[in-house]
C-alpha cells in the first residue's frame, strides 16, 4: 500500500501485549503458537515500557496484558505502572493462577483498571481437567472473590466447546454470581493448540443450536446486570466472521519476543515479514509494516470475495483460517458458502463433529513435536 493510502488507515484502538508464553495451565484450545517462546527471549521491562509509550503516541487506548499467564512475569506490577504512566487503560487477561490477594492489591495500586478472568468450567472436575492443572479452579475462585472485594470491573472469559457447552446456562449464572459485568462466551476457534485438538473440541450441531437459544433467552434476563458477548463457532455458520474487524484495522499483537503481528495466528502465514519492536517504532510498523499492509483493505482479494457485496461486512473472513484450510491466505475463508473450499468444513463437521471426542493434546512446551 502506498504511503498516502496507508496514512488514511485509522490508528489502532488496542494493543495485546503477550508478556510471556509461560503458563501453569495447559488448555488444549490455547491460541498461542505450537512453538512457544522461551523465557530467555522475552522482552525486558524497559522495552515493554517503551512499547507502551509508543502505543499511546500512536493512538492506542486500551492495553490488554496477556500471555500465557501474565502473572508469570515477576515485573507485572511494574509493567502495569508503566502502562498507566503512558496513559493506557490497563486490562489484565489472566487465569488467576499466580495471583494472590496481596499481588492483586498491588496491581490495583499500580493502576490496573480491569480484570478478564478465564473460566475453563464451572466445577473443579471439568475446569481442572480442561486446564490440565489440579487445584486450579479453587485458586481461580479465590482470586475472583478478591476481584469482587476490590471492586475491580470483571469480565469472565468462557471458552465453550464439546465438553462444557451443555453448561452454558449455568455458566452465565455462575459469571453473574461472581459479579462479572460482562461475559465473553467464545466458542473455541481453531488456531494454535486448538487446531490439533479440533476433534476433541468441536461441538455437536445440536449443542450449537441449543447454545444460541440459551443466549437469546438469557440476554433480556441479564440486561441490567451483565453484558453477554457471544462468539458462535464459525464452522457451523454460512458466512465467516470479520476476523480482527478486518486485517490491520483495529489492533496489534506484540509477542513475548517483540514480534508485532496483525493477529495472534499471523505468523502461520508463510511469506509475511514481521517487524520487531527492537528494530522499528510501533507507528512505522502500523502504517508501513509489510505484514500489516499485506491484507489491508480489499485490493488483495480475488473472487469470490473481490466481487462480493459482503466484503464490506466480513472482509473475506479470516486469513489464517484460509491458509490453514484452503492453503492460500488470500482465498475466501472456507467457512463461506461461496468458497470452493467450503466442502472441507462440511467434511470436518460430518466426521469430527459427529464422532466421539478424541483425547486432549495439552499445551506444554515441546508437546507438539514430542
As annotated, the binding site for [4Fe-4S] cluster includes 23, 27, 30
The option from ligand FES, ligand SF4, none interacting with 336 (CB < 5 to 8 A, set by class) reads ligand SF4
What is the footprint of ligand FES within residues 183-202 (CB under 6 A)? Answer: 191
Is 316 a binding residue for ligand SF4 by CB under 6 A? The answer is: yes
263 part of the interface to ligand FES, by CB under 6 A: yes
251-254/260-261 β-pairing: antiparallel
Residues 46-85 that bind ligand SF4 (CB under 6 A): none
- What is the DSSP annotation of 114-180? EEEEEES-SSHHHHHHHHT-TTHHHHHHHHHHHHHHHT--EEEEEEE-TTTGGGHHHHHHHHHHTT-
Rounded to whole angstroms, the Cα distance separating 132 from 129 reads 5
Question: Under the criterion CB under 6 A, does residue 333 sit at the interface with ligand SF4?
Answer: yes
- Cβ closest to ligand FES, residue 132 vs residue 196: 196
Q: What share of the chain is helix, strand, coil (3-state, %, to 5)?
A: 40, 15, 45
Pairing of strands 14-18, 251-254: parallel
Nearer to ligand FES, 256 or 262 (CB): 262
Rounded Cα distance between 190 and 173, Å, is 27
Helix/strand/coil (H, E, C) string of 212-242? HHHHHHHHHHHCCCCEEEEECCHHHCCCCCC
Q: Does 317 bind ligand SF4 (CB under 6 A)?
A: yes
Collapsing DSSP states into helix, strand and coil, what is residue 346?
A: helix
Among 22, 296, 319, 342, binds ligand FES (CB under 6 A): 319
Residue 297 in the binding site for ligand SF4 (CB under 6 A):
no
The site that binds ligand FES (CB under 6 A) totals a number of residues, namely 10
- Binding partner at 240 among ligand FES, ligand SF4, none, C-beta below 5 to 8 Å by kind: ligand SF4
Taking CB under 6 A as the rule, does residue 301 contact ligand FES?
no
Could you tell me which stretch among 5-13, 173-181, 241-249, 348-356 binds ligand FES (CB under 6 A)? 241-249
Lay out the site mask for ligand FES across 142-181 (x = CB under 6 A, - = otherwise): ----------------------------------------
Q: Residues 81, 311, 319, 342: which binds ligand SF4 (CB under 6 A)? A: 311
Between strands 114-119 and 154-160, the pairing is parallel
Examine residue 310 and tell whether it contacts ligand SF4 (CB under 6 A): yes
Helices (H), 188-341: 198-201, 205-222, 282-288, 290-294, 311-314, 319-326
CA torsion, points 22, 23, 27, 33, in degrees to nearest 10?
-10
* Beta-carbon count within 10 A of 151 CB: 9
Q: For residue 332, state whether it binds ligand SF4 (rule: CB under 6 A).
A: yes
294 lies in the site for ligand FES, by CB under 6 A: no
Tally of CA atoms within 13 A in the half-sphere of 9 that contains its CB: 30
Nearest distance, CB of residue 51 and ligand SF4, angstroms: 33
Among the candidate windows 118-126, 226-234, 262-270, 349-357, which touches ligand FES by CB under 6 A?
262-270
d(CA 235, CA 216): 20
SS3 97: coil
**Binding interface with ligand SF4 (CB under 6 A):** 239-240, 304-305, 308, 310-311, 314, 316-317, 332-333, 336, 338
Residues that bind ligand FES (CB under 6 A): 191, 243-244, 247, 263, 265-266, 318-320
Amino acid at each position: 500500500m502506498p504511503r498516502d493510502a496507508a496514512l488514511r488507515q485509522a490508528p489502532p484502538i488496542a494493543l495485546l501485549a503477550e508478556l510471556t508464553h509461560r503458563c501453569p495451565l495447559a488448555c488444549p484450545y490455547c491460541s498461542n503458537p505450537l512453538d512457544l517462546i522461551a523465557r530467555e527471549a522475552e522482552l525486558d521491562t524497559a522495552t515493554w515500557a517503551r512499547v507502551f509509550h509508543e502505543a499511546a503516541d500512536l493512538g492506542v487506548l486500551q492495553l490488554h496484558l496477556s500471555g500465557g499467564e501474565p502473572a508469570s512475569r515477576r515485573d507485572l506490577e511494574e509493567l502495569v505502572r508503566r502502562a498507566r504512566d503512558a496513559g493506557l487503560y490497563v486490562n489484565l487477561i489472566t487465569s488467576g493462577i499466580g495471583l494472590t490477594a496481596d499481588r492483586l492489591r498491588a496491581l490495583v495500586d499500580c493502576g490496573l483498571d480491569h480484570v478478564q478472568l478465564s473460566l475453563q468450567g464451572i466445577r473443579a472436575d471439568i475446569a481442572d481437567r480442561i486446564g490440565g492443572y489440579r487445584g486450579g479452579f479453587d485458586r481461580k475462585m479465590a482470586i475472583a472473590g478478591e476481584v469482587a472485594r476490590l471492586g475491580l470491573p470483571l469480565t469472565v472469559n468462557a471458552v465453550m466447546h464439546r465438553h462444557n457447552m451443555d453448561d452454558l446456562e449455568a455458566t452465565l449464572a455462575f459469571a453473574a454470581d461472581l459479579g462479572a459485568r460482562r461475559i465473553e462466551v467464545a466458542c473455541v476457534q481453531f488456531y494454535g493448540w486448538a487446531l490439533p485438538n479440533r476433534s476433541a473440541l468441536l461441538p455437536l450441531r445440536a449443542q450449537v443450536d441449543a447454545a444460541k437459544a440459551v443466549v437469546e433467552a438469557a440476554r433480556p434476563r441479564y440486561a441490567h446486570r451483565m453484558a453477554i458477548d457471544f462468539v458462535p463457532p464459525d464452522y457451523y455458520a454460512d458466512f465467516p466472521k470479520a476476523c480482527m474487524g478486518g486485517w490491520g484495522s483495529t489492533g496489534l499483537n506484540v509477542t513475548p519476543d517483540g514480534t508485532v503481528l496483525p493477529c495472534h495466528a499471523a505468523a502461520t502465514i508463510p511469506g509475511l515479514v514481521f517487524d520487531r519492536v527492537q528494530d522499528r517504532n510501533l507507528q512505522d510498523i502500523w502504517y508501513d509494516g509489510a505484514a500489516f499492509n499485506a491484507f489491508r483493505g480489499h485490493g488483495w482479494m480475488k473472487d469470490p470475495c473481490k466481487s462480493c457485496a459482503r466484503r464490506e461486512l466480513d472482509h473475506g473472513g479470516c486469513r489464517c483460517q484460509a491458509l490453514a484450510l484452503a492453503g492460500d491466505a488470500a482465498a475466501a475463508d472456507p467457512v463461506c458458502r461461496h468458497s470452493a473450499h467450503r466442502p472441507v468444513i462440511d467434511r470436518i463437521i460430518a466426521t469430527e463433529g459427529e464422532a466421539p471426542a478424541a483425547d486432549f493434546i495439552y499445551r506444554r512446551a515441546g508437546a507438539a513435536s514430542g
